């Protein structure tokens, strides 16, 4: 357990805020991992208590730790939204399996629903910084562009090793993909559906649907890594 200090916050999409903290001395993590964040003596509490898991959306080389979340009415989020800069929280971790596999010959396919983008942002930033040879393909599904946190940055990160397919399911005149993440959508953009290692994160309805889809495609459990962001 270590203490971290809230340094700044920034609205990054509609109803969506990034929180930046000092990184405690000696803290290291791998891109895509998460940690438990605990409010210290919060002014209000509810049945879910003062602790939440969040993905560390910043990459390991960055000097700060950043998390990004949809603001909701829970006591935890109300408290975090109102916390003065300088507020201290406890952090426990890192933990989690959302880290890039080693075999660079196999592409990684990231399937993100809404705020489920956080582990993939960290991995994309990390891969760019370290010039990793791994091929990464990110399918990023949102209702509308204004809901899609970090969309402009992800577009800028596109290159020979990183492809972004941003799909907007509620925007009839969106120039790109409008389909939800599905077998058909993957098949249009991936030459071989069995080759990649798949990573997916988002609200439970999305992760359950994606898991079923991948199973139907014959993808083995070993080639799926996921995180369910319950609470949405
Ligand atoms: C590994 C991991 C990484 C995450 N990363 C992010 C992130 O980067 N950004 C983000 O916004 N959110 C992330 N989440 C979800 C986050 O922890 C919150 O649950 C979510 O943001 C909703 O918070 P809330 O305070 O509004 O609701 P909460 O009070 O957290 O939860 C609302 C509902 O979820 C139920 N619930 C609480 N805990 C559990 C549990 N353990 N299992 C099943 N149901 C439960 C509650 O009973 C309640 O009904 C992550 C979750 C996990 C597990």
Give me the DSSP letters along 5-73: EEEEEEEEETTEEEEEEEPPTT----TT-EEEEEESS-S---TT-SEEEEE--S-TTSSEEEEEEE--S
User: Would you call 111 helix, strand, or coil by DSSP?
Assistant: strand
Pairing of strands 88-95, 108-113: unpaired
**What pLDDT shows up at residue 1?**
86
Ligand 1 atom having least distance to the Cα of 96:
1
Write out the residue limits of the CATH 3.40.50.80 domain(s) in the chain: 108-228
* 119 Cα to the center of ligand 1, angstroms: 15
CATH topology of domain 108-228: Rossmann fold (3.40.50)
Residue with tokens 């910084």: 129
How does pLDDT run along the chain (232 residues), one tens digit per residue? 899 999 999 999 999 999 999 999 999 999 999 999 999 999 999 999 999 999 999 999 999 999 999 999 899 999 999 999 999 999 999 999 999 999 999 999 999 999 999 999 999 999 999 999 999 999 999 999 999 999 999 999 999 999 999 999 999 999 999 999 999 999 999 999 999 999 999 999 999 999 999 999 999 999 999 999 998 8
* 193 Cα to the center of ligand 1, angstroms: 30
* 139 Cα to the center of ligand 1, angstroms: 22
Write out the residue limits of the CATH 2.40.30.10 domain(s) in the chain: 2-95
Ligand 1 atom having least distance to the Cα of 52:
17
* 165 Cα to the center of ligand 1, angstroms: 26
Residues with CB under 6 A from ligand 1: 34, 48, 52-55, 67-70, 72, 74, 76-77, 96, 115, 118, 227, 229-231
Does the domain at 2-95 match CATH 2.60.40.10? Answer given as: no
Q: Which protein residue has the closest C-alpha to ligand 1 atom 44?
A: 230
Mutate to test the pocket of ligand 1, among 13, 225, 229 (most ligand atoms within 8 A of CB): 229
* 7 Cα to the center of ligand 1, angstroms: 23
């Amino acid at each position: 357990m270590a203490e971290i200090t809230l340094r700044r916050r920034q609205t990054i999409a509609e109803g969506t805020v990034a929180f930046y903290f000092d990184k405690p001395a000696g803290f290291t993590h791998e891109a895509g991992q998460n940690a438990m964040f605990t409010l210290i003596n919060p002014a209000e509490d509810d049945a879910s208590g003062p602790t939440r898991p969040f993905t560390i959306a910043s990459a390991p080389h960055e000097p700060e730790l950043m998390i990004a979340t949809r603001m909701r009415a829970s006591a935890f989020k109300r408290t975090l939204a109102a916390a003065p800069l300088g507020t201290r929280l406890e952090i426990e971790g890192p933990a989690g399996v959302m880290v890039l596999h080693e075999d660079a010959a196999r592409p990684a396919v990231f399937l993100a629903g809404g705020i489920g983008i956080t582990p993939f942002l960290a991995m994309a930033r990390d891969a760019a910084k370290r010039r990793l040879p791994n091929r990464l393909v990110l399918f990023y599904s949102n209702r509308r562009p204004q809901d899609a946190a970090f969309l402009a940055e992800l577009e800028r990160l596109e290159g020979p090793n990183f492809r972004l397919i941003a799909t907007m399911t509620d925007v009839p005149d969106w120039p790109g993909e409008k389909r939800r993440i599905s077998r058909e959508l993957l098949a249009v953009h991936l030459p071989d559906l069995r080759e990649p290692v798949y990573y997916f994160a988002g609200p439970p309805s999305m992760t359950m649907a994606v898991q079923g889809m991948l199973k139907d495609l014959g993808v083995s459990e070993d080639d799926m890594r996921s995180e369910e962001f319950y609470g949405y």
